[in-house]
Amino acid sequence: MTVHAGPGDPHRPRAPRWDAPEPSRAGRGARSGPKPGLSVDAIVSAAIAVADAEGMAAFSMRAVGERLGRTAMALYTYVPGKDELLALMHDRALAELPPPAPRSDDWRAAATDWAEQLYACYLRHPWVLRLPPARPALGPAELAALESLLSALAPAALAPARLRGAVAALRQYVRGAAAATADASGDQLDGFAPDFAEHFPLLTALRRDPGGAPGNEDGEAFRAGLAVLLDGIAAS
Amino acid sequence: MTVHAGPGDPHRPRAPRWDAPEPSRAGRGARSGPKPGLSVDAIVSAAIAVADAEGMAAFSMRAVGERLGRTAMALYTYVPGKDELLALMHDRALAELPPPAPRSDDWRAAATDWAEQLYACYLRHPWVLRLPPARPALGPAELAALESLLSALAPAALAPARLRGAVAALRQYVRGAAAATADASGDQLDGFAPDFAEHFPLLTALRRDPGGAPGNEDGEAFRAGLAVLLDGIAAS
DNA sequence: CCGGATATCCTTACGCCATAAAGAGTTGCC
DNA sequence: GGCAACTCTTTATGGCGTAAGGATATCCGG
């Protein structure tokens, strides 16, 4: 990545090593000052711990600092601001995804696996689905996930345009479904006006139908939608 | 809906008419006080105007009040808090969607239309995709949109489980794709490490391929994914 | 061993935010 | 007229991100 808000940037004179471990410590002969007590990695870990445990609403620079026994301002030595920290968190979360599985001819199983891994990752870190849009480019882990999906779909030998469509559909579907599941609002449509059934007859009918499994409803819905999608890919 | 934080609620003694026009003014014989200079509707409209124009980052109770020539606190007479206002904004935005089209046997065209309407609506109001998860239930406009989709899909005569999957896939795909388009980050993956092509060969290959239309790339990607999805529904 | 440079980390402060509390002014019913 | 109900304002509280500046620790060249 190397976003490099280096010391040349007059706007951000702090933050000597933003974003990368700065190969060695040999930038200039000048290195001095007290040993760093923190690191970008440690801050990102603490930040993810806060977001996972307390939710995004309770996430703040102060909260992250506190978890590390520092003040909020101490973080600014390592990270230029909250937005950049969020971007690092995002990519770190996606880095939990497994590397591309060894090539298999069963693209359907491979794609299913990919989708379920990503879905589970989003549910482990639901705050990812709520990050602000500022980041200018995809992070390395997100790129790796895309590459992984392409590798899973390779045996299907789709035409390029079709492949683009399939990737977009899978990626966005998983994200949307995870967002729906995470916002437990889900499809809670009871307790409404008394004329609910009148206004929404088809919804009511679908609702009354002997649904799928009783528990784990969200997971079931996710898999059902995924199956439809994969059928579409298969139909190419 | 009738969420009714009525005067009986000790926690919210204000906000006499939250969420519905309160059929007439006949709640109790007691009505008095100055004529309301605002209304929930006017506030929601102003709030949407602010969010559309300035983006969610600049959205605040103060900003909405200012647009109406009032202070932030004046809004609290009509709306119990920011979260509830956001929920109303969400539903109002989705209320722009057209009512169910007259029944047509071409479910594919009908579903495509539904998806494009929703996609366009999200792009008109991208802040909708970024709302906090608090709301406990779907709003009436969102329910109407679902009913509309069911009506579009009716001629396909899907089995209930399959129908559920198709609805979930379409809904979440449109939402995810809109979010990706709105965060103009899109798929910006250039300007990276020099070994980009090495690390991500499949991505690089797909990228090099003579893509679809030159302009309107997002819309193209959206339609391609949608086509895959609809093929999946057709394969039932 | 000693300055000076450089780095980490802290305190303080500013201008935002949502919203609680209390009061001023307006209106309609008795 | 009096009073209750209502709208809207002012003020205040406790949070936020982060700019600014200072204390302190560490290293380097002398």
Annotated domain spans of chain A:
1-23+35-93, 107-234
CA-nearest of B118, B139, B90 to A185 is B139
Instruction: Give me the residue label for tokens 């206002």.
Output: B85
CA distance B172 to A177: 5
pLDDT confidence of residue B220:
85
**pLDDT tens for residues A118-167?**
999 999 999 999 887 656 678 899 999 999 999 999 999 999 999 999 99
Which residue lies nearest C21, CA-to-C1' measured?
Answer: B73
User: How would DSSP label each residue in A145-207?
Assistant: HHHHHHHHHGGG---HHHHHHHHHHHHHHHHHHHHHHHSTTTT---S--TTHHHH-HHHHHHH
Residue B150 has its nearest CB partner, among A172, A188, A203, at A203
Mean pLDDT over each residue of chain A, to the nearest integer? 84
Q: Which of A65-69, A225-229, B23-27 is least confident?
A: B23-27
Own/partner contacts of A188-194, CB < 8 Å, gap of 24 or more, are A188/B136, A188/B137, A188/B138, A189/B137, A189/B138, A189/B143, A190/B137, A191/B137, A192/B1, A192/B137, A193/B1, A193/B2
Distance CA A228, CA B168 (A): 10
Distance CA A55 to C1' D30 in A: 54
pLDDT of residue A174: 95
Spatial separation of the C-alpha atoms in residues A213 and A178, rounded to whole Å:
19
Strand D closer than 7 A to residue A77 Cβ: no
- Which member of B2, B144, B168 has the closest CB to residue A224? B168
Using the CB atom, is residue A13 less than 7 Å from strand C? no
Euclidean distance between CA atoms B60 and A164, whole angstroms:
39
Picking from A45-49, A68-72, A192-196, B51-55, which range would have the lowest pLDDT averaged per residue? A192-196
| Cα atoms found within 13 Å of the Cα of residue B148, Cβ hemisphere only | 24
Segment among A15-19, A66-70, B131-135 with least mean pLDDT? A15-19
| pLDDT at residue B171, as a whole number | 94
HEC string for B176-217: HHHHHHHCCCCCCCCCCCCCHHHHCHHHHHHHHCCCCCCCCH
Per-residue pLDDT, averaged over A67-87, amounts to 96
User: Residue B133: what are its φ and ψ, rounded to 5°?
Assistant: -85, 10
pLDDT on residue A192: 60
Which of A20, A29, A28 lies closest to A1, judged by CA?
A20
Q: So what's the pLDDT on residue B43?
A: 98
Q: Which of A150, A199, A224 sits opposite B203 (nearest CB)?
A: A150
Q: Count of CB atoms within 10 A of residue B21's CB?
A: 10
Q: Is the dihedral of CA B196, B197, B199, B204 positive or negative?
A: positive
pLDDT score of A193 = 63
Which CATH number applies to B1-27+34-79? 1.10.10
CB contact under 8 A, A209 and B185: no
DSSP reduced 3-state for B152: helix
Beta strands in B84-233 (DSSP E): none
pLDDT of residue A220: 85
The reply to whether residue B150 touches residue A202, judged by beta carbons under 8 angstroms, is: yes
Class of domain A1-23+35-93: mainly alpha
> Could you tell me the pLDDT band of residue A218, with boundaries at 50, 70 and 90?
confident
Write the single-letter amino acid at A79.
V
Mean pLDDT by 10 residues, chain B (236 residues): 33 45 48 88 98 95 98 97 95 96 94 98 95 74 95 96 94 91 66 76 86 69 94 94
A118 burial class (0-12, 13-18, 19+ CB within 10 angstroms)?
A: buried
Tracing tokens 């339609």 back to the chain, one arrives at: B223
pLDDT score, position B58: 94
Q: How far apart are the C-alpha atoms of A182 and B104, rounded to whole Å? A: 35
Where residue A215 falls among pLDDT bands split at 50, 70, 90? Answer: low
User: Per-residue confidence at A194, pLDDT binned at 50, 70, 90?
Assistant: low
The CATH number of the structural domain formed by A107-234 is: 1.10.357.10
CA distance A98 to chain B (A): 15
Percent of chain A with pLDDT over 70: 78
